[in-house]
Amino acid sequence: MNKKNNENNTHISRPVANTLSKSAKSSMLTRIISAIVIVLVMVPSIFLGDWIYFGLITILLGIACWEILGCTRKRTFIVFLIYFMFVACIAYWPLFKTVAVNGTTLDRIDNYFNGIYLSILIIAIGVFLMFSLTVLYKDFTVQDATFLITMGILIGLGFQCLFYLRFIPNSVFGLTNLKSWVYTFDNTVKTSLLLLFVFLATVLTDVGAYFVGVFFGKHKMNERVSPKKTWEGFFGGIVISFLLSSSIALIFAACGYPILPMFDIQHFYYILILSFLIPLFATLGDFVFSSIKRFWGIKDYGKLIPGHGGVLDRLDSVFFAAIISAVIVFMFLSIENGFDWAKFLV
């Protein structure tokens, strides 16, 4: 009798997979539909590149600035205009720098984002303007100023890296200074693959973590920052992203379409390194922006995207993934081109 009871108790205590509630299924469907719409907007813009992609990023930059100001609840037209100009100058600095130094005129926008730069002058002006607002507006605090400066640099650099990842392949593949009609479908695919790869690896991290967490998540990671995230989802997202993104990049490389010439089969370890780092930093970005929301007591940065929140709720992990990818690509290009590291570090 006792043995039978023990067997029943053992059977009852056996862990089972999580099940989806009706509300969770509805939320998931909304998220999937919104994600499809995002893909339908983003992917053609990435493929077309040039001023179309530039325009899309500029719109997203403006919305992101508006959402960040919403955290501090200091949204006014003047504050938004000043903040947008500050962040935009950081994001566009390679463009401004190239035009100012070389005295060239604007033609194809993809000829001007061949590096990653932070201007001390722009940052200094931004710091001055943000702290000036603490004097002009009695409700604008030092905490607001320091928060907006920090986030302005992060967001501006994130968008600059999104420009870099889309436009640096033009230089690497030797497609700069070409007129738009010279761009064939083959060239468009070649120059788009790097950014698409970064987006794919980031999305796979998010999707993998979400579904693994929903169905198998048991152990919470950090309830203070993100109550729903679990260790199972964390590792699931990283593993799924790494395996799928690296496999896809290797297959494309084997078919003659590497995401960059140096990411070929002979340099497969470049692909593995990037495929491993992207999900790690994407997860870090998700946690950082989640902690910011907890600090300011908000659920989402906005309501523009049903089931996802605002633009920053979708770009949080993308910013960190783009920054680390741009840095890694820059380093790999430097290694392949015999870059003088000693001179660079000094």
The answer to the question of residue 17 being in a domain is: no
Q: What is the pLDDT of residue 126?
A: 94
Q: What is the mean pLDDT of residues 262-290?
A: 93
For residue 274, the enclosing domain spans 22-345
pLDDT band at 274 (very low <50, low <70, confident <90, very high): very high
The answer to the question of residue 68 being in a domain is: yes
Q: What is the pLDDT of residue 345?
A: 47
pLDDT band at 132 (very low <50, low <70, confident <90, very high): very high
Q: In terms of pLDDT, which residue wins out, 282 or 37? A: 282
Closest residue by Cα to residue 116 from 152, 72, 156, 173: 156
The answer to the question of residue 2 being in a domain is: no
Q: Is the pLDDT of residue 210 over 90?
A: no
Q: What is the mean pLDDT of residues 76-98?
A: 92
Q: What is the mean pLDDT of residues 338-345?
A: 52
The answer to the question of residue 108 being in a domain is: yes
Q: What is the pLDDT of residue 181?
A: 45
Q: Is the pLDDT of residue 10 over 70?
A: no
The answer to the question of residue 201 being in a domain is: yes
Q: Is the pLDDT of residue 307 over 80?
A: no
The answer to the question of residue 182 being in a domain is: yes
The answer to the question of residue 100 being in a domain is: yes
Q: Is the pLDDT of residue 340 over 90?
A: no
The answer to the question of residue 158 being in a domain is: yes
Q: How many distinct structural domains can be found in the chain?
A: 1
- The two structure tokens encoding residue 172: 């690497």
**Residue 31 neighbours by CB distance under 10 Å:** 16
Find where tokens 């990411």 sit: 263
Q: Is the pLDDT of residue 343 over 50?
A: no
Q: In terms of pLDDT, which residue wins out, 184 or 15? A: 184
Helix, strand, coil percent values for the chain (each to nearest 5): 75, 5, 20
Q: What is the pLDDT of residue 12?
A: 46
pLDDT band at 79 (very low <50, low <70, confident <90, very high): very high
pLDDT band at 335 (very low <50, low <70, confident <90, very high): confident
The pTM (predicted TM-score) of the whole model is: 0.86
Q: What is the pLDDT of residue 23?
A: 61
Q: What is the mean pLDDT of residues 231-239?
A: 89
pLDDT band at 183 (very low <50, low <70, confident <90, very high): low
pLDDT band at 227 (very low <50, low <70, confident <90, very high): confident
Q: Is the pLDDT of residue 16 over 50?
A: no
d(CA 93, CA 108): 16
d(CA 288, CA 56): 25
Q: Is the pLDDT of residue 38 over 70?
A: yes
> Is 32 buried (19+), middle (13-18) or exposed (0-12) by CB count in 10 A?
exposed
Q: Is the pLDDT of residue 328 over 80?
A: yes
DSSP 28-83: HHHHHHHHHHHHHHHHHHHHH-HHHHHHHHHHHHHHHHHHHHHHHT---HHHHHHH
Q: Is the pLDDT of residue 59 over 60?
A: yes
Q: What is the pLDDT of residue 24?
A: 60
Q: What is the mean pLDDT of residues 63-84?
A: 92
Q: Is the pLDDT of residue 19 over 60?
A: no
Model confidence over 88-104: pLDDT tens digits? Answer: 999 999 988 877 766 65
d(CA 194, CA 171): 13
Q: Is the pLDDT of residue 231 over 80?
A: yes
Lowest-confidence pick of 12-16, 53-57, 301-305, 306-310: 12-16
Q: What is the mean pLDDT of residues 193-217?
A: 89
Q: What is the pLDDT of residue 150?
A: 96
Lowest-confidence pick of 96-105, 139-148, 234-243: 96-105
d(CA 248, CA 42): 20
